[in-house]
Copies of this chain bind each other. A is one copy, B any other.
Amino acid sequence: MQFVNDPREHVAEGLAGLERAWPDLVRWNREPSFIARAQNGEPKVALVAGGGSGHEPLHTGFVGEGMLDAAVPGAIFSSPTAGQLEAATRAADRGRGVVHIIKNYTGDVLNFGIAAELVADAIAVETVLVDDDLATDGSGPGRRGTAAVVAVEKLCGAAAERGWDLPEVAALGRRVAASSRTMALALRPCTHPGEDRPSFDLAPGEIELGVGIHGERGIGRRPVASAAELASLLIDPVADALELGEGDRVILIVNGLGSTHPLELSVMFGEVADRLAARGVEVARSLVGSYVTALDMGGCSITAVRADDELLDLWDAPVRTPGLTW
């Protein structure tokens, strides 16, 4: 059961509520639908992200100073249209070009690409593809994009605010994406607004390792285990893939998938930090909370971003959005 009126209007009503709760930060463009900053300020490179809804606060909650200029929501778990993306790109542009931040899904890649072509005579667009999900490493369409996109949006947002030019911001985003890997697991499936039954089944005592943020099957089912053992299942492959070792520093994101309690995420953070410490890896910065959700799925994802002084300095820059502020 959920708080829902007409399921077909759920996303639109949520966007209207977001605008109304944060009128100083964001505005909702109704037709075509996108969230933009309440005001455009001085010229700077603009950042536009987008994708299916149901992952809030991603992306719409990350519009504001120091992060995105516009976010383009599709229907639940569905790509936005090229028309939405085109309109958001035109609205966000401040004359210094636009970076498209795209999670690697076929529909998103296609529609962002069309939008970039549609504006090409007026606006320079660069693309950052985020493909951090290790569970899909080596698959046909490549790794899916998941929670590393929060780091890409935060770090590129800071760079754009500092006046970096379009190729520089895009190159930074690509470097962050290449330095990030994620692994997720589900403890409980999610249920779509207005539906009675979850979108997939998990037997009692079973987890889904490598689950996607739409409930896609991952590496396989496992018996449930202690937080410590589950933390190892997530961070070990991530640390291996990034070849993390003695003296390395990371930005660590422990992300709840929707219905996982802050106390549990805090326990998982401690376990993951222990495992990194055992490798000699320093958790230089961290985010612990539900930032990239899969509706009300239970579970979490672990993202590590290999960091250096430049990335940490950009991470610390001020940010003011509905979903992330410091």
Binding site for B on A (CB under 8 A): 1-5, 10-11, 13-18, 20-21, 53-54, 56-57, 61, 187-188, 193, 196, 204-205, 207, 224, 226-228, 230, 258-271, 273, 283, 286, 288, 293, 295-296, 298, 300, 320, 325-326
Min CB gap A35→B, angstroms: 11
The 8 Å CB contact of A226, one of B4, B18, B205, B270, is B4
Interface of A is mostly: mixed
The 8 Å CB contact of A3, one of B2, B295, B300, is B300
A4 adjacent to B326 (CB under 8 Å): no
Query: Given the interface contacts A13-B267, A266-B14, A320-B326, does A2 sit within 8 Å of B261 by beta carbon?
Result: yes
A207: chain B residues within 8 A (beta carbon) = 1
Min CB gap A167→B, angstroms: 33
Copies in the complex: 2
Min CB gap A27→B, angstroms: 15
Min CB gap A150→B, angstroms: 14
A13: chain B residues within 8 A (beta carbon) = 227, 266-267, 270
Nearest to A264 among chain B residues (CB) is: B3
Of the A-B pairs whose beta carbons lie under 8 Å apart in the complex, a sample of 20, sorted by A's number, is A2-B264, A3-B268, A3-B300, A5-B226, A5-B271, A14-B264, A14-B266, A16-B270, A17-B265, A21-B286, A21-B288, A54-B261, A54-B263, A56-B261, A56-B263, A56-B266, A57-B262, A193-B264, A261-B295, A262-B293
